[in-house]
Homo-oligomer: A and B are copies of this chain.
């Protein structure tokens, strides 16, 4: 048995309180995230978990947005950069990596929402960026197009995951919303909105997977075929 506190009156028994560090704070935040979701990852709750006051956290973290970005950095370690299909076409491998990224964000859609505002810039994000650029390069996509395109690939995947965050909040509410949308589109006035009326079914068609896959392939085609404007020689 390890020796307990020698002074049981001045210090109550509890697990040794570890020194605060940025890494420790982020690690605890990720724990709360996994156990209870992002909504519970608040400065106050985090402080409580770390056995201190919320003010103490501000020594290591600028604000809540920055905290969220740091959490995402951490989570991005789970993205599968290689994908099962090694021998496949570069496009399919690219879609694979992007799908993995999307799937990781789907486990915490509220975090995707945050990521649109405060982009991560840590190690795992860099690794992802590098991999995407390498695959675009392998496909012969001109570097300038790849550089601009990679941004949009990630933005699109992030936004898709963020859109799922209502659904995550309440299954019932999400169904309601979907029903309302379906009804609205089908009952649209064909005189005033002929296109919407005619395409109502197609606007709602496809499984999420089909649409996500089409989304990525469409983006890759667009990126590969759209030259970046020439900078004016100065």
Contact = CB atoms under 8 A, between A and B. Distances in A.
Interface string A82-111: 000000000000000000000000000000
Nearest to A206: B148
Contacts of A205: 144, 147-148, 231
Copies of this chain, how many?
2
Binding site of A, secondary structure by majority: helix, strand, loop or mixed?
Answer: helix
Contact of A193 (B62, B130, B184): B130
Nearest to A136: B195
Interface size class of A (residues with CB under 8 A): 35 or more
A210 interface: yes
A217 B221 CA distance: 12
Interface stretch (A7-15, A30-38, A48-56, A114-122): A114-122
A113 B162 CA distance: 9
Given A126-B193, A188-B126, A222-B221, A148 B117 contact: no
B162 A117 contact: yes
A178 to B, nearest CB: 11
A121 B185 CA distance: 9
Nearest to A115: B163
A67 B41 CA distance: 24
Contacts of A116: 113, 116, 159, 162-163
Nearest to A130: B193
A203 B152 contact: no
A177 B63 CA distance: 13
A128 B200 CA distance: 15
A192 B10 CA distance: 51
A27 interface: no
Contact of A214 (B148, B188, B218): B148
Interface string A161-204: 01101100000010001001100100010001111101100110
Given A133-B196, A134-B195, A229 B210 contact: yes
A32 to B, nearest CB: 22
